[in-house]
Structure 1
Amino acid sequence: MVDEKKTVNIDDAEIDRLFEEYRKTKDINLRNELVNRHLHIAEIVAKKFVNRGIEYDDLYQVACVALINAVERFEPNKGYKFSSFATPTIMGEIKRYFRDRASLIRLPRRIYETSSKIKLATEELSTKLKRPPKIEEIAEHLGMSIEEVLEIMEASSNYLPQSLDQTMYEDEEMTLGDVLGKTDENLVQIENIEAIKMALDKLNPLEREFVQKRFFEGKTQREIADELKVSQMYISRLEKKILKKLRDFIEGVKMSI
């Protein structure tokens, strides 16, 4: 028992030494060694999230990336063990991965469950037959009709997200991104102009006259002050007041849309 405790203490001291050295040198080999020594943490955490609609291999990959980030961020001088820091870090990253996946279109439960059975059957038959199975072989293996298998496979593929860089046709370079609609900048400009017109209607005659001279005729505050026979300070305050009134009105219009 005494020897085991000594071994644990030596291991902990060695880990701390490696972290301290890595913080100083940023040696990639040291980082890889630290990651390899703690891969069991990624494995344990990933297994906690299995059977939730995402395959273990994907979860383990996310956990390993989170483990690398944990090694990068860990500060041994804080007084706690790396495992205490890495475990919640990895769990948080996996939960974030689930949230990101949840934002995609979800398969109906029936399609998802049957699609999983078809995938498993395909793997089993591929191993058994030493070749990819035919649709009728999958259908017979699952006790389903060929039409049902084809329907589920087609439905599943329709719910998969597609890359915007994916080509539309094999012999053409046009991608999905090329055919997607884009924001018409002219429409945005029209909306802004209409909003400004509505806002100008809310100004009194003096304020509209100021806007005409200042922003359409390009006159300075001094020139406008001389024409209206008022001080430049008054014109400066008037400009701030008008701009605030226009800004508040336009923002109100946008929020109501």
Structure 2
Amino acid sequence: MNAVTAQERTATAERRSTGDPQAGVPFVDVPTAVGPRDPRELSRPFFERLAVLEEGTREHQYVRNTLIEMNLSLVRYAASRFRSRGDSMEDVVQVGTIGLIKAIDRFELAREVEFTSFAVPYIVGEIKRFFRDTSWAVHVPRRLQEARVELARATDELRTRSGRMPTTRELAQLMSLSEEEVIEARKAANGYTSASLDAALTSGGDPEGESAPADFIGAEDPALELVEDFHSPAPLIAAMDAHDRRILHLRFVEERTQAEIGRELGISQMHVSRLISRMVARLRLGLLGSEVA
């Protein structure tokens, strides 16, 4: 694309006189089709115009959007560096575009630097932040994600100096953190990657000695065996009449004594004892009968 011609300047003046939002900037037919090198030349008049426009106006929106579309090739270039990460390139480009928009909103021509040089760190930084937030195996707060990176750098620096693994105290002093925060960052680092509990582990290369992490983690909870036992009598209890169910509830749920149950129901303690014994025997017989069946 060539520099702005006299014909284009005339067309620009005409658009300005008619209130066209394209007034004051070169005409770009298809901004997204602008080649990678052309935005360097075209972006300058757009930034000059953007600096004097009131935010929120139709012309400001047009100039800003055209700058974004013209520089999308810069986003695609930056995103191509992350092609091997396996994520959808469309998602990476969308994230990079957020960085481009931030760069456009913060760029000033007075800085006397190329917009490309200014924008690339914003674009790449946004893409890296995206991978940092989505690559963790479990959700970890942002502050701990960042602490993990700092911890890795501090560990490498101290190990290079001393030739050994640094202590927690040494890391805390270098990172200006407490020892508790360093320990927390170490724990958070374990959440970056994960492995299946069924992944095979071999001992000494012997396939016969293969095992899995699940074989060494956790223990059987004996209470789980009681779950079925708790539910098995439910149908038998439901088949009882309301009077018998109330007695069982008072005795085994509210844990009342036989004497207390007798006083509430107006019967003797001995009669309560016989009723409970008879109901328990009936439940036992019903449960044993279902097991035999």
Give TM-score, length-normalised by structure 2: 0.32
Normalising by structure 1, report the TM-score.
0.37
Q: Based on CA coordinates, which of the two structures has the bigger radius of gyration?
A: 2
